[in-house]
C-alpha cells in the first residue's frame, strides 16, 4: 500500500522540457486558429454578402412571408414557439436596458 502523504511525485511537476513543449504547441495552435479565422472571413459577412442582401432585399422579405404563411398552415405550434421566444428576448433586452440605465444614474 502506498503512503498517501507522499503526493509530491517527480512526475506530477512538469519539467522544463515539457513546459517548452507545451509553449510550442500553444504557439502552433494560436497560429492555426488565426489561419482558420482568415479563411472563415471569406465566407462570413463580407461585402459580397452585404451587397447580395441589399440587391435582393425584397425577394428575401417575400420568401420570409411565404415561409411564415406556410408555417401558419402546416405547424402553428412552431409559430407560437417562435413568437414566444421573440417575446422573451425582447423582454430580457428591455430589462437589461433598465438595469444599465439604473447603473448609469
Q: Which residue has the cell 433586452?
A: 93
Residue 102 lies in a domain: no
The total number of structural domains in the chain stands at 1
For residue 11, the model assigns a pLDDT of 58
The Cα 96–Cα 28 span in angstroms is 40
Tell me which residue range forms the domain holding 32: 16-45
Q: List Cα–Cα distances, 82 to 41, 67, 86, 92, in angstroms.
A: 30, 13, 6, 15
**Does residue 11 form part of some domain?**
no
> Is the residue at 39 inside a domain?
yes
Residues 6+ apart with CB under 8 A from 78: 71
Is position 4 within any domain? no
Give the residue from 66, 67, 62 showing the smallest Cα distance to 78: 67
pLDDT (tens place) for every residue of the chain, 105 residues total: 444 444 445 556 678 999 999 999 999 999 999 999 988 887 777 788 888 889 999 999 999 999 999 999 999 999 999 999 999 999 999 999 998 888 877
Does residue 26 lie within any of the structural domains?
yes
Judge whether 27 lies within some domain: yes
Residue 57 lies in a domain: no
Domain-located, residue 35: yes
- Looking at residue 46, its pLDDT comes to 76
Give, as one character, the DSSP assignment of residue 2.
-
Amino acid at each position: 500500500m502506498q503512503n498517501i502523504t507522499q503526493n509530491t511525485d517527480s512526475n506530477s511537476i512538469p519539467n522544463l522540457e515539457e513546459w517548452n513543449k507545451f509553449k510550442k504547441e500553444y504557439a502552433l495552435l494560436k497560429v492555426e486558429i488565426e489561419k482558420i479565422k482568415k479563411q472563415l472571413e471569406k465566407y462570413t459577412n463580407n461585402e459580397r454578402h452585404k451587397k447580395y442582401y441589399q440587391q435582393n432585399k425584397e425577394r428575401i422579405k417575400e420568401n420570409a412571408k411565404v415561409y411564415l404563411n406556410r408555417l401558419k398552415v402546416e405547424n402553428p405550434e412552431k409559430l407560437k414557439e417562435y413568437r414566444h421566444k421573440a417575446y422573451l428576448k425582447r423582454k430580457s433586452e428591455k430589462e437589461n436596458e433598465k438595469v444599465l440605465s439604473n447603473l448609469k444614474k
